[in-house]
Chain A
Amino acid sequence: MNDMRIVRKDVDMNDTKISAKGVQVFYGDTHAIKDVDVEIKDKTVTAFIGPSGCGKSTFLRCLNRMNDTIDVCRVEGKILLDGEDIYDKRVDPVQLRAKVGMVFQRPNPFPKSIYDNIAYGPRIHGLAKNKADLDDIVEKALRRGAIWDEVKDRLDAPGTGLSGGQQQRLCIARAVATEPEVLLMDEPCSALDPIATLQVEELIDELRENFSVVIVTHSMQQAARVSQKTAFFHLGNLVEYGDTEQIFTNPQDERTESYITGRIG
């Protein structure tokens, strides 16, 4: 707990990117998310923290409708992306997911070459007109994923042959290759060692320039290091949401304070 320093950076709190209003999520009979309202800003890293099972991952997966793949899951309320309700009947989740990319807890590269891993998204969305175009997209994505220098000589090597940290950065590069507007990250560093974690955290900070990043994390230090906004979830409720600095130095709710100081969790 010695690294609780808070990164002070210019937080450019301009527009609201995602706005959730009265979101309820049910897994069968379980009420997993209870009436959550949250405004996620553009070009900002927002961290969701909270003890295990508090619903932060569930809420994250609502933001690109990954919960649709679970039969028993039911979502109520409104989630607006740039003012459009993503749960509207007219919205195709596939189109939504191209706009709201996702990085998962465990690195999950496709068992294909590094190049194909990145090129897959652009290919299915028709982002490249020709091979040279695609090469550019792949290079740009790998550079944004801060992994270009490590893999540029072996783009044909299988993505699964990389180390865990490299794989995760590859997955981030894969997610940014489709030019999303929001990047969701579900505990992206939980399977990584400290050095790889540091690299991914630095990368997240860079990604903020172009995307709105939402990150779920178990590590409060990580939330403090990378995020500008923090939301604390507890038992399916959004307990407190505010500037990271304020949440960690001057929490308004006593549950937040207990969690941050390690009394509950």
Chain B
Amino acid sequence: MSDFTADNGPAKGDAKSSLFHETTRTKRRNAAETRFKAYGIAAIATGLFFLVALLVAILGNGLPAFKQTFVTIPVELTEAKLDKNGNRDPADLAKVSTFGYKPVVTAALVSALKAEGIEIPFAKEEDVEDILSSSVAAQVRDTVLANPDLIGETVDFRLLASSRVDGYFKGRVTRDALVRDKNLDAEHLDIADAMVAAGLMKTTFNADFIFGSDASESRPEQAGIGVSMVGSLFMMIVVLALALPIGVAASIYLEEFAPQNKWTDLIEVNISNLAAVPSIVFGILGLAVFIQIAHLPQSAPLVGGLVLTLMTLPTIIISTRASLKAVPPSIRDAALGVGASKMQSVFHHVLPLAMPGILTGTIIGLAQALGETAPLLLIGMVGFIASNMPDGITSGFLDPNSAMPAQIYEWAKRADPAYYERAWGGIIILLVFLMTMNIIAVLLRRRFERRW
């Protein structure tokens, strides 16, 4: 480097150079340092810019998914239509399908509009029902089946508006766009505006997006991430229950007990290599081994968890070994010196000291597994419409389900722009989970870290 050129030292003949004057050489070194600092600041600024852009994009696109437009109207549950025999027999009630409920809801909407003096500009008054989600008949039916005593009364229902109407209030749907849309007409929007003015319609926070289940392609307003969240939870339970003990046991053996020879070297190299294997490879391995050979159920969180365990193991082993290595050998000497066996020295002294590192590594591995999509593609956890909450622990592990990132991928794939918004919303939830896990990792590290 130019620092080593000798022609710019203190001037010759100048026997004593003053400390108050920078020599050319010093100047140049200082300039290089200043430049380097500037590069560093520029690099950080670029990173921060992208981070902010990312956050703005995610929040801007995703936050609307947490709000939904609801219509609140009184629905008269006429006995003549819903329970012809009048005996409230559950079997008879169940015979009335959503087709039987739909006219009841539509009639309720029409009469509510009339009561508020809102004009219905359609030839057939029933056409106004497009304002409501096609899920409302099922919602009313479920309520009635759960509580048959409501029949014959007039009950206030909070019903989902259709995704087009919802999109109109969120700015996604415009009147111009509706010209080519056969689902909704501009007149519906006029009615919707009037309903908002009359207090019948409101866009509010929608807990069902967080806790609900996925819905079919035509009903984005109903879709929620809750069931796939449960799927992810069950997968994480499998990963934690398998990867932590296996990983920690393997690391302790390799680090503390195994002799140093070419076999352990080979194992070590392979563990490092496994950490770098693309996750989709683990996916196809899981498909071949767990589903085709072991005949475990497809799309089940158990299989997903097993695959993610394979993927997380190297991460946990590497971080555990690093934290075991970081425990000073003097602690091992001390334990052996008072006559502890190798195992006692490890379990009584080394492992507790390595615990914060192990936990941090485990949580980071879990967070990685939580955000993993590719291996789930191959074992069938993507594309599945997770419409039912599992009924119990066994069903949670074995019944088909999805996972959060898989659900997000699935939504992003669907055509309706309302699903696009939900994909962003799902990403916010996923990020909240990941951030929580990372914060827990940091807190655990702070809490358990000991100095010696």
Which A residues fall within an 8 A CB radius of B? 64, 66, 69, 71, 94-95, 97-98, 101-104, 106, 108-111, 120-121, 124-125, 160, 171, 174-175, 177-178
Contact = CB atoms under 8 A, between A and B. Distances in A.
Contact of B353 (A71, A106, A111, A174): A111
B158 interface: no
A175 B334 CA distance: 9
Given A71-B259, A120-B348, A111 B339 contact: no
A175 B340 CA distance: 12
B435 to A, nearest CB: 31
Interface string B11-53: 0000000000000000000000000000000000000000000
Contact of A171 (B334, B336, B348): B334
B contacts with A: majority SS: helix
Contacts of A108: 328, 330-331, 333-334
Interface in B327-361: 328, 330-341, 344, 348-349, 353
Contact of B339 (A71, A94, A104): A94
A251 to B, nearest CB: 32
B450 to A, nearest CB: 5
B336 A104 contact: no
23 contacts: A66-B336, A71-B259, A71-B260, A94-B339, A95-B339, A97-B336, A97-B338, A98-B338, A98-B339, A103-B337, A104-B333, A108-B330, A108-B331, A108-B334, A110-B331, A121-B339, A121-B340, A124-B338, A124-B340, A125-B339, A160-B451, A174-B334, A174-B338
Contact of A178 (B339, B344, B452): B339
Interface of B: 259-260, 328, 330-341, 344, 348-349, 353, 450-452
A171 B331 CA distance: 12
Given A94-B339, A104-B333, A120-B348, A111 B259 contact: no
A175 B349 contact: no
A110 B336 contact: no
A111 B334 contact: no
B333 A111 contact: no
B260 A110 contact: no
A66 B330 CA distance: 12
Contact of B338 (A69, A106, A160, A178): A178
A64 B259 CA distance: 21
Contact of A110 (B334, B339, B341): B334
B267 to A, nearest CB: 16
A248 to B, nearest CB: 30
Contacts of B334: 104, 108-110, 171, 174
Contacts of A120: 335, 338, 340, 348
Contacts of B353: 111
Contact of A66 (B333, B348, B450): B333
A86 to B, nearest CB: 13
Contacts of B349: 110
A108 B336 CA distance: 12
Contact of A106 (B330, B332, B339): B330
Contacts of A175: 337-338
Nearest to A125: B339
Contacts of A97: 336-339
A17 B450 CA distance: 40
Given A104-B333, A124-B339, 10 more contacts: A69-B336, A94-B341, A102-B333, A104-B334, A108-B328, A111-B450, A111-B452, A175-B338, A178-B338, A178-B339
